[in-house]
Amino acid sequence: MFAYSVGVPRWLTTLPWIAAIGLLMAASQRVLPAESARPSGGLEWRAADSKVSARIDGWPLDRLLESIAARTRWQVFVDPDARHEVNAKFKELAPGEALRRLLGPLNFVLVPPADARSAPKLYVFRTSRSAATQRIEAPPDAGRHGRRLDDELILRLKPGSGESIDDLAARLGAKVIGRSDELRAYRLKFESAEAADAAGRQLAGEDGTRSLDSNYLVDRPDPAAAELAAAMAGLNLKAKPVAPGEGVVVAVVDTAVQGQAAGIQDFLLPEISIAGKAALPAEELAHGTSMAATLLRSLSQLAGESDGTTVRVLPVDVYGNRPDASSFDIALGIYAAMRSGASVVNLSLGGDEPNAFIRDLIRSGREQGAVFLAAAGNVPVTSPTFPAAYPEVIAVTALNRRGEIAPYANYGEFVDVGAPGASYVTFHGQPYVVVGTSPATASASAMAASIAAATGKRGAELETEVRRALAVNPQELAP
């Protein structure tokens, strides 16, 4: 059922929705800012001094244009019927001359931006500029990741600790600003980074009945969505009745989910709010909404789901109205997902720094039979992103239409699997393209849920199936 070859899972190239994504991307209207370039010997595009160098042998046209979009912040449009194998070797040419060398027999027009808020538009075509209708997409800048809160600590009381958290906080001169008495875990805030460091050193020299972690902020993820001009079919999936305790629960640990606006309310369980109830702008597509909708649309295309599904999505909001979530809140979100019976946990978020509290809860959840999937990150590097890089988590990167790792996606050795880096969702009836390793993770979670619903497999057995079905070799598939 999940056969694959040469490291590229067959379902990536045979599902009808993959072809639909190509059409959707051609209709894209809004600007999607691009990621920084993947370091490689292929194409170097220095925006600072407008110099381009290339050492390219046999690239297809799509790969070249994806690389240009990922390096320039340009909107790139191509004639869908244009074909060209790129072979070029040069150093430090101006962009115009570089494009002539790279594009060979094809024509191109680079249109300057209308104002400071817009991006240049590059049209690539055979004979007529009007034929350049297919949009080449790239996700937005990744922003800041893993910013340490220097004046905070996460403290966990181990069995045998005789001092209450309130007495301990008072002794250390800290305030308890977050707490889970069930986990005996607490978020402490100090007057300064120096006070937090001093408290950490003091506790490290005491009786060992406590453990300490740093607390980090993870930016609220952007949905990386572009509006589409063309109308698209709605979600072709029905929710089968499910008795309490039955079915497959997929937790989406993310922002809040706007179920009614996305037309997915029948598949949603009551939302869990970790950081306070969110008040999302009604007209603005939230990241959690796009992930839940991507998961369900991907599920609708998998074998066995056409007659309806027993899969339900559990939204776990760890952001509320805040621009970021702390490690402490993400950990509590994972714990809440496990308490609510999630068998698959989707983590389309991440940062640069590990956190022992989060990893311990993932380990515990895995022992209870849950499978965790997390986004590898939208920066083309090999450095790890957490929680994806934990061995207990399936790390998901994004693949382009050729089954290669997308030029914006992380391609480190920690990456386990790949899934399409573009999906489409509807919001208030308007179709959107969603791009990045986040929707790739949601698509992979859909496969995990589908296998679980069809076979009853859970835990390590389910994880093995997913890893086998979607396995990639990052080094072999990197552009």
Q: Are residues 232 and 309 in the same domain?
A: yes
pLDDT at 18: 35
| Total of domains in the chain | 3
61 is a domain residue: yes
The answer to whether residue 119 scores a pLDDT higher than 80 is no
125 is a domain residue: yes
Q: Are residues 335 and 433 in the same domain?
A: yes
Phi, psi angle pair for 432, to nearest 5°: -135, 150
Q: Are residues 120 and 233 in the same domain?
A: no
Mean pLDDT of 11-36: 32
pLDDT at 144: 41
| Weakest mean pLDDT among 7-21, 80-94, 184-198, 447-461 | 7-21
The CATH code of the domain that includes 158 is: 3.30.70.330
Nearest of 407, 409, 475 to residue 65 by alpha carbon: 407
Which domain, by its residues, includes 363? Answer: 221-477
Q: Residue 329: which region, alpha, beta or left (left: phi > 0; alpha: psi -120 to 50)?
A: alpha
pLDDT at 39: 35
4 is a domain residue: no
Q: Which of 136, 161, 191 is the last residue of a domain?
A: 136
One-letter amino acid at 186 equals Y
Q: Are residues 268 and 362 in the same domain?
A: yes
Q: Are residues 246 and 188 in the same domain?
A: no
Mean pLDDT of 211-239: 80
Q: Residue 184: which region, alpha, beta or left (left: phi > 0; alpha: psi -120 to 50)?
A: left
Rounded to an integer, what distance in angstroms lies between the CA atom of residue 456 and that of residue 36? Answer: 42
Confidence of residue 305 (pLDDT cuts 50, 70, 90): low
User: pLDDT of 79-94, one tens digit each?
Assistant: 989 999 999 999 999 9
The answer to whether residue 409 scores a pLDDT higher than 70 is yes
Confidence of residue 138 (pLDDT cuts 50, 70, 90): low
Q: Are residues 319 and 442 in the same domain?
A: yes
The CATH code of the domain that includes 384 is: 3.40.50.200
Q: Which of 84, 105, 136 is the last residue of a domain?
A: 136
The answer to whether residue 477 scores a pLDDT higher than 50 is yes
DSSP codes joined into one string, 230-298: S--------B----TT-SEEEEEEES---HHHHT-GGGBPPPEESS------TTS--HHHHHHHHHHHH
Rounded to an integer, what distance in angstroms lies between the CA atom of residue 374 and that of residue 387? Answer: 7
User: pLDDT of 280-292, one tens digit each?
Assistant: 888 889 999 999 9
Rounded to an integer, what distance in angstroms lies between the CA atom of residue 137 and that of residue 139? Answer: 7
Confidence of residue 295 (pLDDT cuts 50, 70, 90): very high
Mean pLDDT of 114-120: 68
Angle between helices 327-339 and 356-367 (to 10 degrees): 10
| Residues 303/304/308/314 CA torsion (nearest 10 deg) | -70
pLDDT at 408: 84
CB 134 within 8 A of CB 92: no
Mean pLDDT of 176-192: 96
List C-alpha distances in Å: 39 to 69, 114, 121, 407. 15, 31, 24, 10
Mean pLDDT of 34-43: 46
Mean pLDDT of 303-331: 89
Q: Are residues 338 and 471 in the same domain?
A: yes
| Residue 161 or 411, more confident | 411
User: pLDDT of 244-279, one tens digit each?
Assistant: 878 999 999 999 999 999 999 999 999 999 999 999
Three-state secondary-structure class, residue 325: strand
Q: Which residue's structure tokens are 């937090």?
A: 196
Exposure on the CB side of residue 193, measured as CA atoms within 13 A: 5
Mean pLDDT of 289-313: 88
| Weakest mean pLDDT among 46-55, 323-332, 403-412 | 46-55
Confidence of residue 224 (pLDDT cuts 50, 70, 90): low
In percent, the amount of the chain with pLDDT more than 70 equals 85
Mean pLDDT of 197-208: 88
447 is a domain residue: yes
Q: Which of 114, 136, 158 is the last residue of a domain?
A: 136
pLDDT at 118: 64
pLDDT at 223: 75
- Across the beta sheet with 311-317, what order do the strands follow? 272-273, 311-317, 248-254, 344-347, 371-375, 393-399, 417-420
Rounded to an integer, what distance in angstroms lies between the CA atom of residue 239 and that of residue 469? Answer: 25
CB 223 within 8 A of CB 252: no
pLDDT at 407: 81
The answer to whether residue 7 scores a pLDDT higher than 60 is no
Gap between the terminal Cα atoms of the chain: 28
Rounded to an integer, what distance in angstroms lies between the CA atom of residue 341 and that of residue 45? Answer: 48
Three-state secondary-structure class, residue 374: strand
pLDDT at 32: 31
In percent, the amount of the chain with pLDDT more than 90 equals 57
Q: Are residues 395 and 468 in the same domain?
A: yes
23 is a domain residue: no
pLDDT at 225: 67
Mean pLDDT of 449-460: 94
Rounded to an integer, what distance in angstroms lies between the CA atom of residue 326 and that of residue 193? Answer: 17
Q: Are residues 365 and 310 in the same domain?
A: yes
Q: Are residues 195 and 341 in the same domain?
A: no
User: pLDDT of 52-76, one tens digit each?
Assistant: 999 998 888 988 998 888 777 788 8
What is the model's pTM?
A: 0.76
Q: Are residues 336 and 432 in the same domain?
A: yes
Confidence of residue 2 (pLDDT cuts 50, 70, 90): very low
Three-state secondary-structure class, residue 144: coil
280 is a domain residue: yes
3 is a domain residue: no
Q: Are residues 115 and 89 in the same domain?
A: yes
User: pLDDT of 231-240, one tens digit each?
Assistant: 666 788 899 9
Rounded to an integer, what distance in angstroms lies between the CA atom of residue 122 and that of residue 75? Answer: 6
CB 342 within 8 A of CB 370: yes
pLDDT at 127: 92
Nearest of 208, 194, 213, 110 to residue 151 by alpha carbon: 194
> What is the rounded average pLDDT for all residues in the chain?
84
The answer to whether residue 25 scores a pLDDT higher than 50 is no
16 is a domain residue: no
The answer to whether residue 186 scores a pLDDT higher than 90 is yes
| Residue 273 or 230, more confident | 273
